Amino acid sequence: MHKKYSLQELQKRLVVETSENRPVYLLLVGNPPKYIRLSVFAYELLYENSLGKSFEEISEIVRQKTGKNLSPSEVEAAYQKVISDLSEIEENKKNQLSGFLLRLPLIPQKIVNKIASYLSVAYYQPVAILLLTIIIVATGFAPRNDLFLRLAKEDLIWGYFFFFISLLFHELGHASACVYYGAEPSNIGLTIYFIFPAFYSDVTDAWRLKRWQRVIIDFGGVFFQLIVGAIYIIFYKFTEWAALKIAILAIASSCILYLNPVFKFDGYWALSDALGVTNLSREPGRIFRHIFSQINNPSNKRLPWSPLMMSFLAIYTVTSFSIIGYFIWLVFPILWRQLLGYPLVITTFIEKLFTSPNQLGFEQITSFLTSTLMVGILLLIGWKFIQFLLTAMRRLLKK
């Protein structure tokens, strides 16, 4: 039996500022709470039903508001379809395997809110300009011609520790921007993203802000991480400590990754918010379905964007698929070779570990951990692909 949404739940909906020429509603559901996008028609069906109105009454309301003559049975069928879709989305959200393998709350929301309220001063215009100037000046002194790293064990450990601290400030950057604009940040926790230790925070409440405020929140993590990187550069110029160089290079690499507009990191959400598109990766499919339906059953229905936006989304689709395809073509053979050679790597490592542990040097341990990392990534990608196929088959069978 499908869940029936109460009036109280439906009143929590948000009207999101987008570039579409019609309202976009987000309905807050689930625990932890998540937003699900609804059309105006779908929301009206749920809302009127929650008021206790019959499908005959809702049919008349729809006729008065939209001019569409839908029979009570058609309205009831549409309502059941919306409820079924929402239930499936909630179920998939609970069972969905994301890149996050665990979530361990670390800093409670109240403490995050308090810390973020102090750090939000970084977004006041004079302070922000000063901090950006420091970042630019420090970047000019960053090590560029001297990128050789001597991976001493102690330097590598300290370098990753300093980088890990920058990741914590990355999440505080998002939280501080939320507080600055009046949104509520979540707690900050420790997670394993694929098999990398990382921090996480939830900025779901930012949906109720204006588009350009959301863009600044999206960039807030990289902003704070670059501030930490600038501090590391200053200390490195005085100490030339290799651990700081490792951290600086790791921060630069992670910021490039975060700012890419294809994978769902900060750059993706910033572009999505700047364009006023609620979920950029799903819109190309929406366009293709519209084109296909128009070919099979021509109608006057139009997508809610201008021709310029449609053109941009088409270019984005081709570009994103090209980048993802190139990434798979480049990385998959490396991971596959690691998988084929991994049995020999692990047996050699275990043999040396039990027979002659003194011969195990830092380089051999690092090599074993790197191979294990790559094999773990490949197995996780394989499992996600299998899960995707199973979900697609289940939906097909239901239809």
Alpha-carbon gap, residue 235 to 133, rounded angstroms: 17
Question: What is the structure's pLDDT at 318?
Answer: 78
Residue 254 counted as domain residue: yes
pTM of the model: 0.74
Task: Looking at the structure, tell me whether residues 137 and 237 fall in a common domain.
Answer: yes
Residue 73 counted as domain residue: yes
Task: Looking at the structure, tell me whether residues 231 and 85 fall in a common domain.
Answer: no
Burial class (CB in 10 A: 0-12, 13-18, 19+), 94: exposed
Task: Looking at the structure, tell me whether residues 81 and 229 fall in a common domain.
Answer: no
Question: What is the structure's pLDDT at 16?
Answer: 72
Task: Looking at the structure, tell me whether residues 91 and 104 fall in a common domain.
Answer: no
Question: What is the structure's pLDDT at 179?
Answer: 94
Residue 290 counted as domain residue: no
Burial class (CB in 10 A: 0-12, 13-18, 19+), 113: middle
Domain stops at, among 64, 95, 126: 95
Question: What is the structure's pLDDT at 114?
Answer: 93
Residue 337 counted as domain residue: yes
Question: What is the structure's pLDDT at 96?
Answer: 46
Token readout for 286 is 């929406």
Task: Looking at the structure, tell me whether residues 82 and 193 fall in a common domain.
Answer: no
Task: Looking at the structure, tell me whether residues 104 and 64 fall in a common domain.
Answer: no
Enclosing domain of residue 267: 100-275
Task: Looking at the structure, tell me whether residues 117 and 170 fall in a common domain.
Answer: yes
Residue 89 counted as domain residue: yes
Alpha-carbon gap, residue 206 to 174, rounded angstroms: 10
Q: What is the DSSP pairing of strand 24-29 with strand 34-38?
A: antiparallel
Question: What is the structure's pLDDT at 300?
Answer: 63
Task: Looking at the structure, tell me whether residues 116 and 169 fall in a common domain.
Answer: yes
Task: Looking at the structure, tell me whether residues 133 and 260 fall in a common domain.
Answer: yes
Question: What is the structure's pLDDT at 1?
Answer: 44
Domain stops at, among 76, 95, 114: 95
Residue 238 counted as domain residue: yes
Q: If residue 166 lies in a helix (H) or strand (E), which one and from where to where?
A: helix 153-181
Residue 154 counted as domain residue: yes
Task: Looking at the structure, tell me whether residues 267 and 314 fall in a common domain.
Answer: no
Do residues 317 and 284 lie in contact, with contact meaning Cβ atoms separated by under 8 Å? yes
Strand partners, 363: none
Q: How far is CA 341 from CA 30, 79, 359, 366, in A?
A: 44, 54, 21, 16
Structural domain count of the chain: 3
Q: Residues 12-25: pLDDT tens digits?
A: 666 776 767 667 77
Task: Looking at the structure, tell me whether residues 144 and 261 fall in a common domain.
Answer: yes
Task: Looking at the structure, tell me whether residues 133 and 83 fall in a common domain.
Answer: no
The pair phi, psi for residue 15, each rounded to 5°, is -100, 110
Q: Residues 259-268: pLDDT tens digits?
A: 888 777 888 8
Provide block-wise average pLDDT over 10 residues at a time, the chain (399 residues): 56 67 70 70 81 84 77 84 74 51 80 94 95 91 65 80 93 94 87 68 82 92 95 90 89 88 84 81 69 68 71 78 77 78 83 75 73 75 70 65
SS3 156: helix
Domain stops at, among 41, 61, 95: 95
Question: What is the structure's pLDDT at 184?
Answer: 86
Residue 228 counted as domain residue: yes
